[in-house]
Structure 1
Amino acid sequence: MIHSVAVVGCGWFGLPLAKALVEKGLLVSGSKRDTTQASALKEQGIDGFVLDLDAPQPFDGEQLAKLHADAIVINIPPGLRRGDSGYLVRLERLQTLMGKHAYQRIIFISTTGVYPANGKVQHEADATAYNDTSKILLQAEAMFKGAVIVRFAGLMGPKRHPGRFLAGKTGLTGAMLSVNMTHLDDCVGGVMTLLTHQGQLAPAYNICSPEHPNKAAFYQRAAAILGVAEPEFASSGDKAEDKVVDGSLICRQLGYQYQHYDPFEMLKFC
């Protein structure tokens, strides 16, 4: 039985997850890179600790105790789109700190970027190193033995409104290609389900809303809602390059029910 959870990375997703775990009565520790921010987590009932994997400092026994909980959620953004080359190094440093502690459950947050756009529906077993980015992502997933991999599709929710993603851009391609989105509520709900389930879990789960509108319709509607310039698309896109992420495994195996099915409706909750 899991009584305590360490959340590595209490940011956009990690903080709401940590707060939800506290509400469930679990003992929750959470990391921030800054001392002041780590201390502020106490106001949310979270036992904060400082963890900066870019400038690692020696961990004392108290800090290690907070990291060595019954379960751990590893939520370190890859930053690969920004040209960040330190992702795997950070994970190696975390791995060293985790040591040989016997976690009951390790949840590793990843991304559906491990699936190619090949015109097919993508399931958990379809991940492949089809480019340099996906190769790094898969290397990261393989680092933590026994971890359950959780792959989020495109993220949206408070402070992440899709209307801003492509606002005012022109000459875009792929107007009719599918959108794969996940609301923050389902990121939290899905991971909560995996942490509290007492039976065996699959090696990986996708978290992605069940419906997949086309790119042009979705992003133009999102921009219109915000009152910003709508993106303009130059081509419909080649369906051979489409990608639809199937997020149903967690539903079929564990009975999870998505809180948000339709990305258009999800726009109301951003």
Structure 2
Amino acid sequence: MPSVSVIGCGWFGLPLAQQLRRQGYAVKGCKRSPEGVAMLSTLGIEAYLLDLDTDDAASPALLDADVLVINLPPGLRRGDSGYLERLSRLIVAMKTAPKRLIFISTTGVYPDLVQTMTESDACVHSPVAAVLLGAETLFAGLNTTVVRFAGLVGPGRHPGRFFAGKTCVGGANMPVNLVHLADCIAAVQLLISAPDVEAVYNLCAPIHPDKKTFYTEAARLAGLPLPDFVADDLADSAADAQDNKGGKTIDGSLICRVHGFEYRYCDPMALLQDAHAFK
């Protein structure tokens, strides 16, 4: 089995590293604090300290692996402006191209148009998208597979909390684009041993319930206050009404066609009924 270094052992990276270790991979990982490094070590993961905000270079030992999985959240929603700089520091530290690199990105690279979005539809439609696509471009030519996650749900991220108790929520009929943590882990593990490189894959559940139905039921099942959605016919204008009915649909089927990947959680509505999906 190839050795794997997971750069960023957070909500996704840590359970990925744990799963890989259980499967017999030699796994390295990193955290930004000594306490985080100690925690990784107790889990049997070869651990390194890495804070790309302050460190000039990553440990050569951390980057010495057959596959690098780079999972550093951009933090753009909270006004973080150092994402590309951190990634650039990591690239400089690599010295040479790894045998294989998997870069975790997001479906935020797609515009909010009323259409199905495939991997070729990414564009600079906003300042945020410019940063996200800039990050992907940094790793071009480094034997990189890009995986674009849709909205993430799973342990600690129950969708019932996303809109619980909120009022005047728009986009009632917009399609929901979500992917569960278990599918993220399974897909990346599959790609670690996949033969192709320089590829891009969306990861999104293939069924897309409407926003109102899904988030209302999610809040109800979680025992939280129900959200209040604005009805389409109360929109301020015909154009606004059309926007409320629209929204992009993320097509996550390419990885299935190319690699035979099968989503464990195909239907977000059924996912809500799974007692173990959020534990």
Provide TM-score, normalisation by structure 2. 0.91
The corresponding residue for 1:147 is 144
> Aligned residues, how many?
264
Partner SS for 2:102: strand
Residues 1:93 and 2:89 are matched in the alignment: yes
Aligned partners of 2:55 and 2:197: how far apart in 1?
A: 32
Letter of the 1:64 counterpart:
P
Which residue of 46, 61, 68 maps to 1:65? 61
Q: Is the 8 A contact 1:5 1:28 kept in 2?
A: yes
Residues 1:79 and 2:78 are matched in the alignment: no
- Cα deviation, residue 29, structure 1: 0.3
The corresponding residue for 1:108 is 103
The corresponding residue for 1:170 is 167
Partner SS for 1:182: strand
Partner SS for 1:177: coil
Residues 1:258 and 2:263 are matched in the alignment: yes
Residues 1:160 and 2:157 are matched in the alignment: yes
> Percent sequence identity over matched residues?
47
Aligned partners of 2:271 and 2:34: how far apart in 1?
A: 34
Q: Deviations over 1:83-114 (max 9, x none)?
A: 111111111111111121x4121000000000
CA RMSD for the aligned pairs? 1.4
- Cα deviation, residue 81, structure 1: 1.0
Letter of the 2:191 counterpart:
L
- Cα deviation, residue 201, structure 1: 4.2
Partner SS for 1:142: helix
Which residue of 249, 253, 258 maps to 2:254? 249
Over 6 Å off, 4+ runs: none
User: Would the alpha carbon gap of residues 226 and 87 (structure 1) be closer, same or farther in structure 2, given more than 3 Å must change?
Assistant: same
Which residue of 206, 209, 218 maps to 1:210? 206
The corresponding residue for 2:32 is 33
Letter of the 2:50 counterpart:
L
Partner SS for 2:101: strand
Aligned partners of 2:184 and 2:190: how far apart in 1?
A: 10
Q: Deviations over 1:182-241 (max 9, x none)?
A: 0000010111110022x2246200010010000001111111111111111113353574
Residues 1:127 and 2:147 are matched in the alignment: no
Partner SS for 1:200: coil
